[in-house]
Chain A
Amino acid sequence: MNTNGEKILVVDDEEIIRIGCQRILEEYDCSVQLAENGRIGLEKLKSERFDLVLIDLMMPELGGLELLEEICKIDRNIVSIIITGFATIETAVEAIKKGAYDYLSKPFTPDEFRAKVGRGLEKRHLLLEAERLRKEAAKNLIECTKQKSRTQTIINSMAEGVIATSLDGTIGLVNPSAIKLLRIKNEKIVGNRIEGLLGIPELEGKIKSISKTFVPATFQFSTAENRFLQANITPIVSEESSVGTVTVLSDITEEKKIEEAKSNFVSLVSHELKAPLGAIEGYLTLILDGLTAGNAEKEHDIIQKSRDRAAELLDLINDLLDLSRTDRKKSLKAIKKIDMAQLLRDVCDFYQNEAKEKSILLDLTVADQLPAVQGSEEDLARLFSNLISNAIKYTPKGGVVNINADKKRSLLAVFVKDTGIGISKDEVGKIFDQFFRASSAVQQKIGGTGLGLSIARKIAEDHNGYIEVDSELGKGTTFTVYLTTTEDR
């Protein structure tokens, strides 16, 4: 028999048997312990780990069968061999039912003993190996399940849509975002061919063609709901051969909108710049081509008008610069607590002369202290400058521009009220649009860039506020600026 340091316990009330067993086992590489009854044997089994136990069936205090039951509770893999003096089939069967591996009938020869113990130890090794494999398999299974569900969870949580297909165009995976982005109604698309399932024939075609060409591609398209999506289609390459494709979908509608707004803005600006420049160029050409025929008065008039158009260009460019300044990142601006009463006083002081020249009463009625506003002083001064200078500009001689302020819950409301030309109901909704000019202003030939209010609104929004307008054609306009204050409500 082969041994390798196994631990063997002999439980028998007959000393001869105990000694006999020990003698035989001494020749082998194993350690042997002896117990003279079942109780002592059980104690040893509870405190130490044994590989094999030899148990006498008939013992005082705790019998062999009872001990066998206890052993099964401690470790199912301990190999027990019953030693019995009256080897009947009945007791042997009962012992084996209770978990014994084999039995030895007294008297036994050393060879019999070696054979049975040797087989018992082999059994023990097999049991341990089986146990180890079982544990390993269970561990692998848990790992595997965990890994799979983790990957699945990640893919299902992605904001981007993911669609995987095999080479023949069979859909292998679709995550919830892809279903949402493509508004796929058919729930059972996995396992089916891609044709007609994604609702975008061009996308289906691209995915299929990439299954053949293996060249990754990016493709943008619009959906029925006017959303723009971008698909990045990549071949899945495994051991140098392509096995399918993976498509990642992202919603680029917002980016497209910004792109469009930017390009619209550029063409609008170009148009606005072109009109005054065209006029100046036209006037200069008149003089250069001799069409004024030395008429000094006419030439003076032309130069005057050219200068006015040049001044208009400068105003426009200044407003454009303001616009780009308000567009700058907030972190680049000096943000601080602003004394709004002081800021309004400063802005009104600045426009007092302009108002006086038009005999307009510019009246500021605010408390000495107003709730403070957190923000950019430069931007807020620009906001109220735009509103107050507009009020003066669009108010006829002898009119009144009144500025007052009020606290409304956590908001500070500043009213800029004029007795000016007003804005028609049709146009009042457009006045914050870039380059929009009210027809009442155009008809009265009051110059302007159409940017001042769009800048004002942008600044108010940057300060967690908004602007309201109330106007009546021919009567006047009130702009109300609401800003979030830093004080408790």
Chain B
Amino acid sequence: MNQKFRILLVDDDPDFIDINRTILESNGYEVDAAYTSDDALEKLKSLHFDLLIVDLMMEDRDSGFTIAYAVRENEKLQSLPILMLTSAEQKTGFKFQLSKDQEWMKVDDFAAKPLRPAELILRVKALLNKDS
């Protein structure tokens, strides 16, 4: 890995940021974190990132989607890969499926929380390779 990929983690639970940051950093990624959607959008506009990992449910029920929309609406950020994490499938009893909901979700990958380190790295690698 010649050049360090930069990843933005967005979650309102500091412990999940801490856990995912540790996993990603020990795999050689550079990590920044945001705890609110406003904070995340601010950072996305001013800094460069190669991947966005965002929690679906933050302070509001669907702020993860709000971020994903904002990213896709923005010309500069349109191609930024998004990995959405959520525990929503248990909460709503509805299993999200990427293929079916991709149009609406506007994200590149979707995973249920918590994600084991190996699984997270696998998904991150896949998204970053697709991009390059």
Contact = CB atoms under 8 A, between A and B. Distances in A.
A389 interface: no
Nearest to A267: B91
Nearest to B114: A278
A286 B19 contact: yes
Contact of B90 (A270, A283, A286, A289): A270
Interface string A81-118: 00000000000000000000000000000000000000
Interface stretch (B10-18, B73-81, B98-106, B123-131): B10-18
Contacts of B18: 283, 302, 305
Nearest to A271: B91
A274 B92 CA distance: 14
Given A282-B114, A293-B26, A309 B15 contact: yes
A289 B114 CA distance: 15
B111 interface: no
B23 A291 contact: yes
A383 B93 CA distance: 33
Contacts of A282: 15-16, 19-20, 114
Contacts of A200: none
A272 to B, nearest CB: 10
Contacts of B91: 267-268, 270-271
Interface string B90-121: 11110000000000000000000110111000
A445 B14 CA distance: 10
A67 to B, nearest CB: 98
A289 to B, nearest CB: 5
B55 to A, nearest CB: 10
Of the four ranges (under 10, 10 to 19, 20 to 34, 35 or more), the interface on chain A belongs to: 20 to 34
Contacts, number: 56
Nearest to B87: A274
Contacts of A152: none
Contacts of A445: 14
A109 B19 CA distance: 134
Nearest to A289: B117
B90 to A, nearest CB: 6
Contact of B15 (A283, A292, A298): A283
A291 B114 contact: no
Please report whether the interface of chain A is mostly helix, strand, loop or mixed according to DSSP: helix
B62 interface: no
A291 B19 CA distance: 10
A439 to B, nearest CB: 6
Describe B's contact surface by its main secondary structure.
Answer: helix
A270 B18 CA distance: 23
Contacts of B12: 442
Given A289-B117, A291-B117, A442-B59, A278 B23 contact: no
B16 A278 contact: yes
Given A267-B93, A270-B90, A274-B90, A281 B114 contact: yes
A291 to B, nearest CB: 5
A298 B21 CA distance: 13
Nearest to A281: B114
B1 to A, nearest CB: 17
B66 interface: no
A86 B16 CA distance: 131
B15 A279 contact: yes
Contacts of B114: 278-279, 281-282
B26 A275 contact: no
A279 B19 contact: yes
B64 to A, nearest CB: 15
B26 A285 contact: no
Contacts of B19: 279, 282-283, 285-286
Nearest to B60: A439
Nearest to A274: B87
A196 B16 CA distance: 58
13 contacts: A281-B114, A282-B16, A282-B19, A282-B114, A286-B19, A286-B23, A291-B26, A291-B117, A293-B26, A302-B18, A305-B18, A309-B15, A442-B12
Interface of A: 267-268, 270-271, 274-275, 278-279, 281-283, 285-286, 289, 291-293, 298, 302, 305, 309, 439, 442, 445
Given A274-B87, A445-B14, 15 more contacts: A267-B91, A267-B93, A275-B13, A279-B114, A282-B16, A282-B19, A283-B15, A285-B117, A289-B117, A289-B118, A298-B22, A302-B18, A309-B15, A439-B59, A442-B59
Closest 4 CB pairs of A and B: A282-B19, A279-B15, A278-B114, A271-B91
